[in-house]
């Protein structure tokens, strides 16, 4: 949820990260293949991370299949450091 995202960033002192929400319109979820379409979680997004370069090109993505698990942040950090 958008309000929770802002709270986490504020609490953790995160300033250089652009947080986006697809809570209302679902366009991102549909376009990037992360919108859950069935069951009690229908309409929510799968856990995922995307790294998008300055040209708008997705250079890394991970979509987690098990909602109880988190993405591999270490791999993402390696990509971002390149």
What would the pLDDT profile of 1-57 be if each residue is shown by its tens digit?
A: 666 777 777 788 877 777 777 888 999 999 999 999 989 999 999 999 999 999 999
Residue 9 has what pLDDT?
75
Residue 15 has what pLDDT?
77
Cβ pair 73, 79 in contact under 8 A: no
Residue 28 has what pLDDT?
92
Helix ranges (H only) for the chain are 2-12, 27-32, 73-81
In this structure, what are the phi and psi dihedrals at residue 41, rounded to the nearest 5 degrees? -100, 10
Residue 72 has what pLDDT?
93
Residue 65 has what pLDDT?
92
Q: Give the span between the Cα atoms of 9 and 43, in whole angstroms.
A: 24
Return the number of other C-beta atoms located less than 10 Å from residue 26's C-beta: 13
- Rounded to an integer, the average pLDDT of 65-75 is 92
- Domain residue spans of the chain: 21-81
| Architecture of the CATH domain 21-81 | 3-Layer(aba) Sandwich (3.40)
pTM (predicted TM-score): 0.72
Q: CA separation (Å) from 33 to 17, 51, 64, 77?
A: 22, 15, 11, 22
């Amino acid at each position: 949820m958008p309000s929770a995202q802002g709270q986490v960033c504020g609490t953790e002192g995160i300033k250089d990260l652009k947080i986006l929400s697809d809570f209302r319109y679902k366009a991102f979820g549909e376009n990037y293949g992360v919108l859950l379409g069935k069951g009690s979680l229908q309409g929510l997004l799968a856990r995922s991370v995307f790294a998008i370069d300055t040209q708008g090109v997705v250079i890394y993505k991970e979509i987690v299949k098990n909602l109880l698990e988190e993405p591999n942040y270490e791999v993402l950090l390696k990509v971002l450091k390149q």
